[in-house]
Amino acid sequence: MEVHFSPDVETRLQQVASANGKDAEQLVQETVNRMLENQARFIAGVRRGIEQADRSEFLEHREVRTRIDRLFHL
């Protein structure tokens, strides 16, 4: 696969990669891999939530509020 970037984006990629001791291709590959992993985790989490809701395993608004308050010591 080939991806084309504008000259400005290529320059910025090279600068960021260089600052991190990498080449631009390596930076792009790592960034895309990380984005795909994050997307997969997000989709899995949404699916788990939908499955829980289908089984009526969810919290009422009041319980969510209580947990948030506890979490942030409100």
Q: What is the pTM of this model?
A: 0.71
pLDDT value for 5: 96
Each domain of the chain, given as residue ranges in start order, spans 30-74
pLDDT tens-place values along the chain, 74 residues long: 999 999 999 999 999 999 999 999 999 999 999 999 999 999 999 999 999 999 999 899 999 999 999 999 86
- Tokens encoding 45: 């989490």
Alpha-helix residue ranges (DSSP H) falling in the chain: 7-19, 24-54, 61-71
pLDDT value for 68: 94
pLDDT value for 69: 94
Dihedral pair phi/psi, residue 27, rounded to 5°? -60, -45
Contact 40, 55 (CB under 8 A): no
